[in-house]
Structure 1
Amino acid sequence: MVFARVLRAFGVGGPSVDTVLTDPATRPGGTLRGEVRVAGGDYDVLIDNIVLALVTRVEAEDGEALLEFHRASVAGNFTLVAGARQDIPFTLTVPWETPVTHVAGRPLAGMTMGVRTELSVAKSVDQGDLDAVAVHPLPAQEQILAAFDRLGFRLRHADVERGGIYGVRQELPFYQEIEFAAPAEHTSAIDEVEVTFVTDESGTEVILEFDKRGGLLREGRDTYARHRVEHGEVAGVDWVSLVEGWVHQVVARP
């Protein structure tokens, strides 16, 4: 990461900034720590505010866009002397509903996630580039995704959809869909399943959307299932059997 990225909004000789994450890996409900390093330019400036924002890419009817979904002020209202440098430590809380970007330690195709630094000087605002963040699943999420893999479902990709899920309480204006292709033993009944986690401080809602195949006398359609898993229920659960039961409930449904 190159230090002294000159802020475009403040012209030649203005301040520069860099955000350094101690560890770019986190989990939903976790934290990100690091420093915002601000270097003075050729003249003194009054820093009105420094804001860190979590940003992800979302799908909507009008196309893809980067969407800011969480922001926090880490410093402000101080004078940055010409040529001086200020290192500002921060701790940024990650919302519980934050989408995951990695599964089994590997990047999840289709996901973009990062921290953007916003610096305000004299009512001018410069939004920096994204510093990539890796969001790994919580233990229950990890076990559920691993169970689908062990059952032969093939991970395709993921995306984030703008909007809400009917009947599910959400804090963020979007939800993530992690798509698996069905194994051969189920392809006569279902083509794929999309897994969505809506998580809070006590547990996670697991919403499954199955793409059921049509037949000679029936049309194909989407079928939904919803389950609740508490964070404290991870140990001692046969996750493969549990997820297999969820799948068979839907496959057997007329």
Structure 2
Amino acid sequence: MFKKILASVGIGAAKVDTVLQTEHLHPGQKFHAEIIIKGGDVEQDISGLELALMTRVKVESDDGDYFTNHIIEKWRVGEKLTLQPGEEKRIPFEARLHSETPITEFIAGYNQTHVWIQTGLNIDLAIDASDRDPLHIYPNEAVKACMQAMDRLGFRLMKADVEKGYLRAPSFHSTSGCYQELEYRPQSGGMFGIQEVELSFVPEAHKTHVLIELDRAFRSDGYIDLTIEHDHVNLSQICDQLERLIH
């Protein structure tokens, strides 16, 4: 009985560990994992197993900005089971990352982007056991070309973060409940009065939408957008497009 009481507060309870085939992924990519559940000191009933794709988002409020965890997508795995003391179960799992998963792998002055897989066991009468696995998310070719074009146009990536909310434009809208902002500034003074450019991306299966926020001196912020077809990614053309839109 004493062991059951300890297990109910997490001491000697069952543990979960998700082993990813790779932590290096792209938005929208399928990933494979093995979920390993290890029994504790006593028999425990597992009423559910959930995996969640998580990120850290900035929330703007009247009391100031703050950061909180945000679920981009969630998956439920397996059925109810009883785990004997010391027993080990291995469950294969595969899923696809949300196409709007924020990018973590780039060079920025200040990168506040974090993405991970959180695995949790729902254990009857006990604290949930959980496991957290960081992910390295790389840009698709369209996003990569946009970032290279901004560099060619004389802009430097200063900051990246993820904000809570949705993006909306006449031809597209986001669905994940959060969006990433890449904040660029001109390296040699404000060109055409531009002080800052923020890029946000909404990738789909065959194209990526780009929402561009322009901060110009002596003028209010403005928004423009463009769409890049994945089978027509051309760096020179994207450079020309961005230069026309920004200037």
TM (normalized to structure 1)? 0.84
- Write out aligned runs for 1:99-114 (5 A): 99-103=102-106, 109-114=111-116
8 Å CA contact retained: 2:14, 2:40: yes
Task: Give ranges in structure 1 of 5+ residues lacking alignment.
Answer: 1-6, 215-219
Q: Secondary structure at 1:242's aligned position in 2? A: helix
Residue equivalent to 2:191: 187
Matched, 1:92 2:95: yes
The number of equivalent residue pairs is 236
Residue equivalent to 2:142: 140
Matched, 1:210 2:214: yes
- How far has the Cα of 1:70 moved from its partner? 0.6
User: Which amino acid in structure 1 is aligned with residue 38 of structure 2?
Assistant: A
Residue equivalent to 2:76: 73
Instruction: Pick the aligned partner of 2:181 from 167, 177, 190.
Output: 177
Matched, 1:250 2:225: no
- How far has the Cα of 1:208 moved from its partner? 0.8
- Write out aligned runs for 1:27-46 (5 A): 27-46=26-45
Q: Judge which range, 180-189 or 88-97, deviates more.
A: 180-189
Q: Distance in 1 between matches of 2:214 and 2:7?
A: 47
- How far has the Cα of 1:14 moved from its partner? 1.5
- How far has the Cα of 1:98 moved from its partner? 1.1
Q: Distance in 2 between matches of 1:129 and 1:77?
A: 19
Distance 1:8 1:64, change over 3 A: farther
Distance 1:114 1:108, change over 3 A: farther
Kindly, what percent of the aligned residue pairs are identical? 31
TM (normalized to structure 2)? 0.86
CA deviation string 1:58-108 (max 9, x = no partner): 11123211111211112231221211111222113101111111127x897
Instruction: Pick the aligned partner of 2:85 from 82, 87, 103.
Output: 82
CA RMSD across the alignment: 2.3
- How far has the Cα of 1:186 moved from its partner? 4.3
Residue equivalent to 2:232: 233
Q: Distance in 1 between matches of 2:109 and 2:27?
A: 16
The runs of at least 4 aligned residues of structure 1 exceeding 6 Å deviation read none
Q: Distance in 2 between matches of 1:140 and 1:133?
A: 21
CA deviation string 1:192-222 (max 9, x = no partner): 11111011122111111111112xxxxx321
Q: Distance in 2 between matches of 1:126 and 1:191?
A: 47
Distance 1:60 1:127, change over 3 A: farther
